[in-house]
Each structure stands twice: as C-alpha cells, then as structure tokens.
Amino acid sequence: MSTTAVPPGLGRRVLPTLNEDGTRRWIRPKPSHGTWWRRRQVVAYLLMAIFFAAPHLRVFGKPVFLMDLPRREFTLMGYTFLPTDTLLFMFSLGSLVIGIFLVTALWGRAWCGWACPQTVYLEFLFRPIGRWFDGGYTQSRALDKQGAWFTPRRLAKYITFFLLALFVSHTMLAFFVGTPQLYEWMLRSPAEHPSAFFFVVLFTGIVWFNFTYFREQTCLIVCPYGRWQSALIDRQSKIVAYDYVRGEPRALGAKHRDATAGDCIDCKACVQTCPTGIDIRNGLQMECIHCTQCIDACDEIMTKIGKPTGLIRYSSQDEIAGKPKHLLRVRTILYPLVLAILLGGLGATLYNTQAADLTVLRGLDGPFALEADGRVSNQIRVKLTNRRSADMAYGIVLDLQGEPDLAANDITVVAPENPLRVQAGETRATSVFVLLPTRAFTNGERFITITVSDERGYRESVRYRLLGPATGTTGSTRQ
C-alpha cells in the first residue's frame, strides 16, 4: 500500500512578527536577487515611473488621471467621467473587481506580490535605502538587537524616508487637483489652501509611519485581501508553494544525508528572505503575499548543493499532491464570462456616449402659466454638459409644427441665451419660454421637438410635452 506525503503540520503557531515576551519582532528580510526578483524589480520601477509621471502627462489636452472631487469629475486617459456616467462607473468598477477575482483564481495573490503599492515601495524603495543607511542586512539586525534606534545613520534614514513620503504625498495630491494647481499652491502660503495643506501633512505622516515603522503589519493586520484568498482561490490556483512531496522529510546539511531524506536541507533561507516572516514550508498561509523571494532563495541553495531548482515554485496545491490539472473550472469559466459582459457593456456605453449631455427639465414655478393676453406660457430648462476639451456654443431649435390651424404668428419662443456657450468640461443651463394660444393644446398637452447642436457635428433631439389648460379640440375649457 503506497502512501502520499502530506504537508507538515503547523503545530503550535507563533506570530512571525511577535516575540515570546509580546514585543515586536522586527523583520529584516535578507535580499535574494534571483530571477524572480529581477522580474519584479522591472515591474516595480515601471509602476513607480508611471505613478510619478502620470500627473504631468496629457492625453487630448487632459491629464492621464485626475479625480476632481470638487467638480465631481474623473478623468482617465483623456476621457472625463461625469456624475451622470452611472453606467460607466458601474461597468468600470465591476470590471476591476471581477478582474482581480480572475487573477486571484488563476495566480493567487499576484497583485500583492507584483503590483500592490505597499509591496512595490517597501521592497524596492524604502527597504533598499534603509539597508544602505544601516550598513547592510547583517548590520541592520545587529542594530535591532542592540536597540540602537537613534544612531546618526538611522536618523539620516528617517529624514530620507520623510522626504520621500513628502514627495509621494505631493504626487498623490496632484491626482486630485492637477499639477497646475499644485505648483501654484507650493509657491503660496499654506493659509490660502488649508485643506490641501492638511491633506499633504496627514498623508505624509501616514506614508512615513507606514514605511518606517508599520511596514509588513499593513499586509498582516490592515489589508483584508489575505483573508479573502480562501474564498477566491481553489486547489488548482497557482500559488507560491513548497513541494513537500520532494522536500520532506527535511534533513539538516547537504552531506551525509540519509537515503530517505528529502531535498530540503532546513537551511531556513526561505524564512530569512520572507518580507512577512513566515515559513513557506508550512503550506498556504494568510500572511504570504506571493512575492517569490523564497523561490529565489531556495533556487540559489539548490544550485549550490547540486539539486534541481523548483523546490519552492509557482504551483498549485493539487499539482504538488500529484493530481491532474484542470484549467476549466467554475471560477475560470464564470469570471471571464462576467468580465466579458461588463467590458462589453463598458465599450457599448462609451461608443454611444455623446459629445455633450443634454437634459430637458420643466420650469420650477409650475407646469404652465396663463399670460394676460390669454396665451399659455411653458418654461423649459435646457441643461448641457460639454464633454469636449474646447469651449462650445450650442444652438437650441424648437419644432412646434404639426397643427394646420396654428399660424406662425401664434407661436412665440423666447430664448434669452441662444446659442448657449459652455466651457470645456462645464455644465450650464438656460431657460426657453414657449407661448401658445390655448387652442394649441389637445387634452391639456402638446408635443414638440427640441434639437440641440454645435458646429462640430453634435446633434441631439428630445421629444418634450408642453402642458396647458385641459381643453377639447374645439378649445372649450374642460371642467
């Protein structure tokens, strides 16, 4: 009877960032500059470059990314989303959420290890700078043991972290107010823009505290994504996994090993390099961010002792256990299907979006008014949002034809502002007054067509119902 190896039991668990006496155990991961680290380094620096450059880039004269909260507008890649773009927001947000679900179902916490700002900035900006100031990995750990938190080199490190946090916070502010406004505020007194100044101070403090002190605790305590993974992945999902079938039982040392010993020599290189302080050999854990550092560390050891690499690798729980792969699963079918529907809806909505948003509303003072000369007055409010990047003038035309007994001199249209001039990205409204004799109304109503157009090809028509006294076709008043 054959037996299948099983992962080692967790046994009594001790938190990776907690000492036995309850004090904080500082994690100083040993760098493992292998193949996966170099790949992540390219991705990380590319993402940093995009973050710092995005506020300064323009597409069609608009920022690449701008979330203008006072005006309730969101600009992405030159396209401005307005508060009326409910469908666009719904499809975009839904696509993002389902996309993350799909990536997690296929490759586990790839977002955490490769693209999350917490990982990107901590592992490829703040920690390398911190090691340089401390004198390297060994010296950092030695200073921790000595309790030397305020040596001149570490004080210089804290100051450098503060300057980096200040730069990050100003860049973040530019995503909300735009670079022209940011440059203007930087040259003026904070008293003239207290809200923005408070945001910079608060965000700088949060960034500095996070990357100087809190660090991996953000992933372990604050971020809920690690807790979601149990619901988002299955045993076929690719994760950073330890091959316990090949590695167990562990035997310390590379020489004079027992014939039954596994390939793991219990060197703990994977533990020393882990940024969250876990032991990947204990199986899938909430704290694992799939950063692949343990893969590089283990591959280096395997190469040194003449063993095949891949003892720790991207794999699935079923693959490690020797079970067959199944690419088509409920998750990998349902998520792409829903994502395709959402992206299709987003594309259709974008395709059908006009260059302007037209809203026709009734007057605020009542459905209609009777003038002294007996005519019926309807106030129509025309509201326009200019989506173009240039100022536009919109002509308003009313079509009131359709009744043979209604002469041209019976119709009076008063438009105080026609054409209506609207600046780029702005919303304006104007009123149009229509005066008609009572005989123009049938059963208290009359339908007209309102057409709005500009000189660049935009044209939109709306059927509108004018209201009047409830009269019959002969013009008598209905009681």
What CATH number is given to the structural domain containing 396? 2.60.40.10
Task: Give the model's pLDDT for residue 405.
Answer: 62
Q: Are residues 210 and 74 in the same domain?
A: yes
The residue assigned the tokens 């973040």 is 172
Confirm whether 40 is domain-assigned. Answer: yes
Q: How far is CA 319 from CA 4, 337, 438, in A?
A: 13, 26, 82
Ramachandran sector of residue 185 (left: φ over 0; alpha: ψ -120 to 50; beta: rest): alpha
CA dist 242 and 7 (Å) reads: 9
> Strand 239-242 to strand 312-315: parallel, antiparallel, or no bridges (unpaired)?
antiparallel
Q: Which contacts of 87-95 are long-range, i.e. CB under 8 A and separated by 24 or more positions?
A: 87/345, 87/349, 88/346, 88/349, 88/350, 88/353, 91/342, 91/343, 91/345, 91/346, 91/349, 92/346, 94/342, 95/339, 95/342, 95/343, 95/346
Give me the DSSP letters along 330-354: HHHHHHHHHHHHHHHHHHHHHHH--
pLDDT tens digits, one per residue of 200-233:
999 999 999 999 999 999 998 899 888 887 788 9
Q: Are residues 60 and 209 in the same domain?
A: yes
Confirm whether 308 is domain-assigned. Answer: no
Task: Give the model's pLDDT for residue 279.
Answer: 94
pLDDT per position in the chain (479 positions), as tens?
334 444 444 334 457 787 777 788 889 999 999 999 999 999 999 999 999 999 999 887 788 999 887 777 788 887 777 777 788 889 989 999 999 899 999 999 999 999 999 999 999 999 999 999 999 888 988 888 888 888 999 999 999 999 999 999 999 999 999 999 999 999 999 999 999 999 999 999 999 999 999 999 999 889 988 888 778 899 999 999 999 999 999 988 777 678 889 999 999 999 999 999 999 999 988 899 999 999 999 999 999 999 999 999 999 999 999 999 888 899 999 999 999 999 999 999 888 878 888 899 998 888 899 988 889 999 999 999 888 878 999 999 998 765 556 666 778 899 989 999 998 878 899 999 999 998 888 888 889 999 999 988 899 999 999 999 875 433 333 32
pLDDT tens digits, one per residue of 64-103:
999 887 777 788 887 777 777 788 889 989 999 999 899 9
CA dist 112 and 225 (Å) reads: 8
Confirm whether 342 is domain-assigned. Answer: no
CA dist 286 and 233 (Å) reads: 12
Q: Which residue type occupies 98?
A: I
At a CB cut-off of 8 Å and minimum separation 6, what does 433 contact? Answer: 377, 378, 379, 380, 412, 413, 414, 415
Q: Are residues 41 and 186 in the same domain?
A: yes
Q: Are residues 228 and 360 in the same domain?
A: no
Domain that holds residue 49: 35-84+116-232
Confirm whether 305 is domain-assigned. Answer: no
Which of these three, 164, 199, 232, is where a domain ends?
Answer: 232
Nearest to 162 by CA among 108, 204, 223: 204
CA dist 91 and 82 (Å) reads: 14
Which of these three, 186, 208, 232, is where a domain ends?
Answer: 232
Check: CB of residue 313 under 8 Å from CB of residue 272: no
Confirm whether 140 is domain-assigned. Answer: yes
Which of these three, 232, 258, 277, is where a domain ends?
Answer: 232
Task: Give the model's pLDDT for residue 474.
Answer: 36
Confirm whether 201 is domain-assigned. Answer: yes
User: What is the chain's Cα-based Rg?
Assistant: 33
Task: Give the model's pLDDT for residue 318.
Answer: 94
CA dist 314 and 110 (Å) reads: 11
Number of domains in the chain: 2
Flag whether the pTM goes above 0.85.
no
Confirm whether 393 is domain-assigned. Answer: yes
Confirm whether 199 is domain-assigned. Answer: yes
- Helix or strand holding residue 175 (H, E): helix 152-177
Structure tokens that stand for 107 in this block: 């490759």
